[in-house]
Amino acid sequence: WAARKTALREQDARREGDPGWYRRRDLLGMMLYVDAFAGSLRGVREKLPYLRECGVNYLHLMPLLASPRGRSDGGYAVSDFRSVQPQLGNMEDLEDLADACRGAGVSLCLDFVMNHTSEDHAWAKKARAGEPGYRERYFFYESWDIPREFEKTVPQVFPTTAPGSFTQLENGQIVMTSFYPYQWDLNYANPAVFNDMTENLLFLTNRGIDVIRLDAVPYIWKELGTDCRNLPQVHTLVRMLRMVCEIVCPSVLLLGEVVMEPAKVAPYFGTSEKPECHMLYNVTTMATTWHTLATGDVSLLKRQMEAVCALPKSALFLNYLRCHDDIGWGLDYPWLGRNFGIDEVAHKRYLNDWFTGRFPGSDARGELYNDDPRLGDARLCGTTAALCGLEAAECEGDPFKRERAVACDLTLHAWMLSQSGVPVIYSGDEVGRLNDYAYHNDPDKREDSRYLHRGAFQWGPAALREDPDTYQGKLFQGLRRLEMIRSEEPCFDAGADVWVEDSGDSRVLALCRRSGDRELVCLFNFSGQFVSAGVDRTGSYTELMYETHYSGIRSVELWPNGFAWLLRDRERC
């Protein structure tokens, strides 16, 4: 606290006076890789005018702390929490960027990898050498007896690329590695680990980081005989981090990455008396959205939104369509099986076939990640535009397919913006970035298909964003209009009443929002056909995107993969 500079203390005071500042409807996020977007931290600073042109006021920089080349898992194997990868710049450059962002009204988010360090971290090197006090920071064993007991109950994270949860070192010692062999799990039962990791976190907040993303937080407590996920001690640790931040840096937010269904995600908000994370990732809705696009049936999405809408309004989610990671099909298969007779393995195969373009009639273009033929399971990679069919349309030179793909892309973004919380765009999606297949020729990346959507920002095509006759212009200008409508319409307030209704058609989702005497009905057609659907309302409504007027909205014609934002005219309420 004593080292926190004046500008940050002033921000602390302002935000303490406005504790709901991060719940504003004009907050718009973007996540990007520094090297892919602008080459370096200085380059990102130079590109701030572009980010502001995009309407971005929340910037998430993907992992940039020191990590060993070729053994970094995309930067998630940190070898030094207080150094930046040298090719991106240094810690002074990061602080300069944070200062520039603050001056431009942009909050800066950074990943904080809590569960593990790189095997190249100073602690790990000392532990490997047997230095007293450092083996106890990890989980070291002399034989496989205890590790085998762990593996009876602990699920594998990457069963094909990194099977098991332990790695035997060259000296015969065994260490816990839940993710990859070069990522050693930290032992938070050792108070020195929590103390030192908390100090690392505060070092970053004092450089000007506004939002700390707690990576893989459900994994951080290990206990024999359990699945080592979501244990009660995890919540104690997160609560302690929240308390520390409220004392030292009260303007800083904690963002929890909890890749699970809403029932298991919600506890990470804590309670009003014992708060934990300020925001959480809405992973389930993201995955179910893509499932809904492939099936053309909104039943599962409607069910899940009912669960989300039932949560307290204080629960704030970060919503997104695509991110740096793959799409995992962690859907509610017991419910799908009971109600639709859907088999999990067969359905996952269908979804992956659909989004890789192998299923007849699909124009989606993606690639698989961690394919496990034995289990019939795999995750999916690809940009939003490519998964919506834009890449196929461009390859075929088909203007009809191009228009359909652009419409689908905008509808999915409208759906994301309609949800309560903070919408975050993946860099390049604002101009319809396509897949980047160059990673196949890079020896450091070719084994990881996630680089399909992690490629370099395409500045040439992005220059077409002002041309409404290009797909880049259609997407950029369409998305900006959606974002501006959202920022101006009170129905999008985080405190608005939100619920889902029956649209009369299984292909169309109806989401309703109400703030005071204002009501907004959002309709989304997830099928490739023209559909007439709506909700039981009389009176006059105006569609906000295209300014079409309706008298009653029981039957609104929606274009294939189209949407409507219908605001009830106040003078006739």
| Pick from 281, 234, 276: nearest CA to 114 | 234
Write down how long the chain is.
573
Architecture of domain 1-114+191-277: Alpha-Beta Barrel (3.20)
| Cα maximum dimension of the chain | 78
pLDDT at 199: 98
Q: Residue 549's beta-bridge partner residues?
A: 542
Q: Determine contact, residues 501/427, Cβ cutoff 8 Å.
A: no
List b or e across 205-230, with b for residues whose CB sees 16 or more CB atoms inside 10 angstroms: bbbbbbbbbbbbbbbbbbeeeeebbb
Q: How far apart are CA 124 and CA 571, in angstroms?
A: 67
Overall fold of domain 496-572: Immunoglobulin-like (2.60.40)
- For every residue of 432-483, which 3-state class applies, written as one string? CCCCCHHHHHCCCCCCCHHHHCCCCCCHHHHHHHHCCCCHHHHHHHHHHHHH
Architecture of domain 282-486: Alpha-Beta Barrel (3.20)
Rounded distance between C-alpha atoms, residue 197 and residue 188, angstroms: 10
> What pLDDT, on a 0 to 100 scale, did the predictor assign at position 263?
67
Structure tokens at 84: 């930046």
What span, in angstroms and rounded, lies between the C-alpha atoms of 34 and 104? Answer: 18
List all residues 6 or more positions away from 484 whose beta carbon is below 8 Å from its beta carbon.
55
Give the pLDDT score at 572: 44
- The yes-or-no answer to whether 122-185 and 282-486 have a common fold is no
Element (H, E) at 338: helix 333-340
DSSP at 210? -
Kindly name the residue from 12, 73, 119, 257 that is annotated as catalytic.
257
Q: Which candidate in 12, 73, 119, 215 is catalytic? A: 215
* pTM summary value: 0.95
What is the DSSP secondary structure assignment for residue 385, as one 8-state letter? H
Helix count and strand count (H, E) for the chain = 19, 25
**Closest among 31, 35, 62 to 456, alpha carbons compared:** 35
Please say whether the beta carbons of 137 and 127 come within 8 A.
yes
3.90.400.10, 3.30.70.3340, 2.40.37.10, 3.10.129.10: CATH of 122-185:
3.90.400.10
Identity at 116, one-letter amino acid code: H
Beta-sheet strands, E only, within 134-282: 140-141, 166-168, 174-176, 183-185, 211-215, 253-256, 279-281
SS3 content of the chain, % helix, strand, coil (to 5): 40, 20, 40
Note if 488 is an active site residue.
Answer: no
Return the structure tokens found at 313. Answer: 């309004």
The identity of residue 277, as a single letter, is C
CA 438-442-444 angle, to 5 degrees, is 135
For residue 152, give the DSSP letter: T
Taking residue 482's Cβ as centre, other Cβ atoms within 10 Å add up to 22
The per-residue pLDDT string of the chain (573 residues; one tens digit each, 9 = 90 and over) reads 999 999 999 999 999 999 999 999 999 999 999 999 999 999 999 999 999 999 999 999 999 999 998 888 889 999 999 999 999 999 999 999 999 999 999 999 999 999 999 999 999 999 999 999 999 999 999 999 999 999 999 999 888 788 999 999 999 999 999 999 999 999 999 999 999 999 999 999 999 999 999 998 999 999 999 999 999 999 999 999 999 999 999 999 999 998 777 667 889 999 989 999 999 999 899 999 999 999 999 999 999 999 999 999 999 999 999 999 999 998 999 999 999 999 999 999 999 999 999 999 999 999 999 887 766 678 999 999 999 999 999 999 999 999 999 999 999 999 999 999 999 999 999 999 999 999 999 998 888 899 999 999 999 999 999 999 999 999 999 999 999 999 999 999 999 999 999 999 999 999 999 999 999 999 999 999 999 999 999 999 999 999 999 999 999 999 999 999 999 997 644
What would the two tokens of residue 245 be?
């931040």
Report the run of H or E that residue 337 belongs to, with start and end: helix 333-340
CA dihedral 300, 303, 308, 310 (to 10 degrees): 180
Residue 362: φ, ψ to 5°: -90, 135
The pLDDT value recorded for residue 157 is 87
Strands 166-168 and 80-84, by their bridges, are: unpaired
Residue 179 per-residue DSSP state: S
557 is catalytic: no
Q: Are 89 and 41 in contact (CB under 8 A)?
A: yes
Residue 372, pLDDT score? 74
- Other CB atoms within 10 Å distance of the CB of residue 412: 24
Name the residue ranges covered by the structural domains of the chain.
1-114+191-277, 122-185, 282-486, 496-572
